[in-house]
């Protein structure tokens, strides 16, 4: 569930960047709506993790995931990519 949440959260971030940087207004609105959908998906995975693992400190585990990911990112680069 947390891995799914992470994938959705990163998709959300990418669509946010696209929605903020693109000049075409229709595409801006489209990417913004995708960003909002991905944000909902991310939150759904977190909610499901808490629902199906009531005895697990999901917030702490999520924080550990984020720290692990940050370590990976700093090890392999910082540039923004769509599928990189």
Stretch that binds Fe ion, among 19-27, 34-42, 45-53, 63-71 (CB under 5 A): 34-42
Q: Which is nearer to Fe ion, 32 or 41 (CB)?
A: 41
Name the token pair of 32. 């913004």
Stretch that binds Fe ion, among 4-12, 45-53, 54-62, 74-82 (CB under 5 A): 4-12
Tell me the chain's radius of gyration from C-alpha atoms: 15
Q: What Cα–Cα distance (Å) separates residue 65 from each residue in 31, 55, 81?
A: 26, 18, 20
Q: Which is nearer to Fe ion, 2 or 38 (CB)?
A: 38
41 binds Fe ion (CB under 5 A): yes
Q: Which of residues 6-25 bind Fe ion (CB under 5 A)?
A: 8
3-state helix, strand, coil in the chain (%, to 5): 80, 0, 20
């Amino acid at each position: 569930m947390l891995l799914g949440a992470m994938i959705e959260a990163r998709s959300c971030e990418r669509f946010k960047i696209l929605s903020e940087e693109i000049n075409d207004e229709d595409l801006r609105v489209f990417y913004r709506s995708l960003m909002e959908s991905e944000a909902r998906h991310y939150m759904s995975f977190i909610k499901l993790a808490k629902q199906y693992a009531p005895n697990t400190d999901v917030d702490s585990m999520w924080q550990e995931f984020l720290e692990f990911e940050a370590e990976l990112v700093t090890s392999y680069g910082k540039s923004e990519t769509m599928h990189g």
